[in-house]
Amino acid sequence: MPPQKAKKIELNQDYPCPCRRRGTLRPIALTEAFGCDRCQQIFAVEDQSHTIEQVSTSYPYKRAWHWTGNRWITVNSKLGENYLPFAIGFAIVLPIVFLVLAIHLPPVPQELRIIVIILAVLFVLLPAFMLWSSYRR
Ligand SMILES: [Zn+2]
Protein backbone atom coordinates (compact mmCIF):
# COMPACT_ATOMS: atom_id res chain seq x y z
CA MET A 1 0.00 0.00 0.00
CA PRO A 2 1.60 3.30 -1.03
CA PRO A 3 0.86 5.88 1.67
CA GLN A 4 -1.69 8.35 0.41
CA LYS A 5 -1.62 11.84 1.77
CA ALA A 6 -4.77 12.83 3.61
CA LYS A 7 -6.22 16.12 2.43
CA LYS A 8 -7.95 18.56 4.69
CA ILE A 9 -11.72 18.17 4.72
CA GLU A 10 -13.49 21.46 4.10
CA LEU A 11 -16.70 22.03 6.00
CA ASN A 12 -18.21 24.19 3.28
CA GLN A 13 -18.36 21.73 0.44
CA ASP A 14 -20.03 18.46 -0.46
CA TYR A 15 -18.23 15.14 -0.66
CA PRO A 16 -19.27 11.74 -1.98
CA CYS A 17 -20.32 9.46 0.84
CA PRO A 18 -18.02 6.52 1.65
CA CYS A 19 -21.13 4.35 1.82
CA ARG A 20 -21.86 2.21 -1.21
CA ARG A 21 -25.08 3.98 -2.14
CA ARG A 22 -23.44 6.85 -4.01
CA GLY A 23 -24.77 9.31 -1.49
CA THR A 24 -23.61 12.87 -1.05
CA LEU A 25 -22.13 14.13 2.19
CA ARG A 26 -23.43 17.58 2.99
CA PRO A 27 -22.08 19.73 5.80
CA ILE A 28 -24.42 19.99 8.76
CA ALA A 29 -24.78 23.65 9.71
CA LEU A 30 -22.96 24.80 12.84
CA THR A 31 -21.37 21.42 13.46
CA GLU A 32 -18.16 19.75 12.42
CA ALA A 33 -20.03 16.92 10.80
CA PHE A 34 -21.45 15.75 7.51
CA GLY A 35 -24.68 13.95 6.79
CA CYS A 36 -25.33 11.61 3.89
CA ASP A 37 -28.47 12.12 1.82
CA ARG A 38 -28.76 8.40 1.05
CA CYS A 39 -27.67 6.32 4.02
CA GLN A 40 -28.60 8.96 6.66
CA GLN A 41 -25.31 8.37 8.45
CA ILE A 42 -23.56 11.16 10.29
CA PHE A 43 -19.81 11.56 9.91
CA ALA A 44 -17.89 13.69 12.38
CA VAL A 45 -14.78 15.51 11.23
CA GLU A 46 -11.84 14.61 13.46
CA ASP A 47 -8.06 14.80 13.57
CA GLN A 48 -7.75 18.48 12.56
CA SER A 49 -10.08 18.03 9.62
CA HIS A 50 -8.14 15.12 8.17
CA THR A 51 -10.46 12.29 9.09
CA ILE A 52 -14.17 11.61 9.12
CA GLU A 53 -15.50 9.15 11.59
CA GLN A 54 -18.83 7.40 11.38
CA VAL A 55 -21.03 8.39 14.30
CA SER A 56 -23.30 5.94 16.10
CA THR A 57 -22.00 2.88 14.42
CA SER A 58 -22.91 -0.62 15.38
CA TYR A 59 -19.53 -1.91 14.27
CA PRO A 60 -17.21 -3.16 17.01
CA TYR A 61 -14.78 -0.43 16.08
CA LYS A 62 -15.16 3.05 14.68
CA ARG A 63 -14.98 3.35 10.95
CA ALA A 64 -12.96 6.29 9.71
CA TRP A 65 -11.74 7.64 6.39
CA HIS A 66 -9.14 9.99 4.96
CA TRP A 67 -9.89 12.17 1.97
CA THR A 68 -7.33 11.87 -0.81
CA GLY A 69 -8.75 14.59 -3.03
CA ASN A 70 -11.00 12.37 -5.09
CA ARG A 71 -11.99 9.46 -2.90
CA TRP A 72 -12.11 8.21 0.67
CA ILE A 73 -9.67 5.66 1.92
CA THR A 74 -10.38 3.60 5.00
CA VAL A 75 -8.26 4.47 7.99
CA ASN A 76 -6.89 1.36 9.60
CA SER A 77 -8.74 0.75 12.81
CA LYS A 78 -7.06 -0.66 15.86
CA LEU A 79 -8.63 -3.98 15.08
CA GLY A 80 -7.09 -3.92 11.62
CA GLU A 81 -3.67 -2.99 12.94
CA ASN A 82 -3.74 -5.90 15.33
CA TYR A 83 -5.07 -8.24 12.75
CA LEU A 84 -2.53 -7.47 10.05
CA PRO A 85 0.66 -8.97 11.59
CA PHE A 86 -1.39 -11.91 12.72
CA ALA A 87 -2.68 -12.49 9.19
CA ILE A 88 0.79 -12.14 7.70
CA GLY A 89 2.28 -14.55 10.25
CA PHE A 90 -0.55 -16.93 9.56
CA ALA A 91 0.04 -16.67 5.82
CA ILE A 92 3.74 -17.42 6.16
CA VAL A 93 3.79 -20.13 8.81
CA LEU A 94 0.82 -22.28 7.91
CA PRO A 95 1.71 -23.04 4.28
CA ILE A 96 5.22 -23.98 5.38
CA VAL A 97 3.80 -26.35 7.97
CA PHE A 98 1.47 -27.85 5.42
CA LEU A 99 4.15 -28.18 2.76
CA VAL A 100 6.55 -29.82 5.20
CA LEU A 101 3.76 -32.17 6.17
CA ALA A 102 2.99 -32.90 2.54
CA ILE A 103 6.61 -33.69 1.75
CA HIS A 104 7.40 -35.70 4.85
CA LEU A 105 4.17 -37.59 5.14
CA PRO A 106 4.77 -41.29 5.36
CA PRO A 107 3.66 -43.20 2.31
CA VAL A 108 0.07 -42.12 2.02
CA PRO A 109 -2.41 -42.17 -0.80
CA GLN A 110 -1.60 -39.54 -3.39
CA GLU A 111 -5.04 -38.00 -2.88
CA LEU A 112 -4.22 -37.11 0.74
CA ARG A 113 -0.99 -35.45 -0.32
CA ILE A 114 -2.88 -33.38 -2.91
CA ILE A 115 -5.50 -32.36 -0.33
CA VAL A 116 -2.76 -31.14 2.02
CA ILE A 117 -1.16 -29.12 -0.79
CA ILE A 118 -4.54 -27.62 -1.72
CA LEU A 119 -5.09 -26.66 1.93
CA ALA A 120 -1.68 -24.98 1.98
CA VAL A 121 -2.59 -22.93 -1.09
CA LEU A 122 -5.94 -21.99 0.45
CA PHE A 123 -4.23 -20.76 3.59
CA VAL A 124 -2.08 -18.48 1.45
CA LEU A 125 -5.05 -17.17 -0.51
CA LEU A 126 -7.36 -16.61 2.45
CA PRO A 127 -5.34 -13.88 4.24
CA ALA A 128 -4.50 -12.34 0.86
CA PHE A 129 -8.21 -12.18 0.06
CA MET A 130 -8.97 -10.67 3.49
CA LEU A 131 -6.33 -8.00 3.00
CA TRP A 132 -7.64 -7.27 -0.48
CA SER A 133 -11.23 -6.96 0.72
CA SER A 134 -10.30 -4.68 3.62
CA TYR A 135 -8.43 -2.26 1.33
CA ARG A 136 -10.94 -2.43 -1.50
CA ARG A 137 -13.38 0.15 -0.06
ZN1 LIG B 1 -24.03 7.45 2.57
Q: Where are the domains of the chain?
A: 15-75, 79-135
pLDDT digits (tens, 9 = 90+) for 62-91: 788 999 998 999 886 555 556 667 777 777
User: What's the pLDDT at 59?
Assistant: 60
* Whether the predicted pLDDT of 106 surpasses 60: yes
Estimate to the nearest angstrom the gap between the alpha carbon of 119 and the chain centroid.
25
Residue 3 main-chain phi, psi, to 5 deg = -65, 130
CA angle 37, 22, 43 (to 5 degrees): 50
Question: Ligand 1 centre and the CA of 43: distance in Å?
Answer: 9
Question: Ligand 1 centre and the CA of 98: distance in Å?
Answer: 44
Which residues have beta carbons under 5 A from ligand 1 (an ion)?
Answer: 17, 19, 23, 36, 38-39
Enter the pTM of the model: 0.53
User: What's the pLDDT at 131?
Assistant: 73
Of residues 137 and 135, more confidently modeled: 135
Of residues 128 and 53, more confidently modeled: 53
End-to-end CA distance of the chain: 13
User: What's the pLDDT at 1?
Assistant: 46
53 residue type, one letter: E
**15 confidence band (pLDDT: 50, 70, 90):** very high
Residue 57 and residue 63 in contact, taking contact as beta carbons nearer than 8 Å: yes
- Using DSSP, state whether 80 is helix, strand or coil: helix
User: What's the pLDDT at 23?
Assistant: 94
| Closest residue by Cα to residue 98 from 125, 110, 116 | 116
Question: Ligand 1 centre and the CA of 36: distance in Å?
Answer: 5
Percent of the chain at pLDDT exceeding 70: 81
Question: Ligand 1 centre and the CA of 22: distance in Å?
Answer: 7
Pairwise CA distance, residues 53 & 91, whole Å = 31
* Whether the predicted pLDDT of 31 surpasses 50: yes
Beta partners for residue 36, in sequence order:
25
Would you give the DSSP letter of residue 61? S
Question: Ligand 1 centre and the CA of 1: distance in Å?
Answer: 25
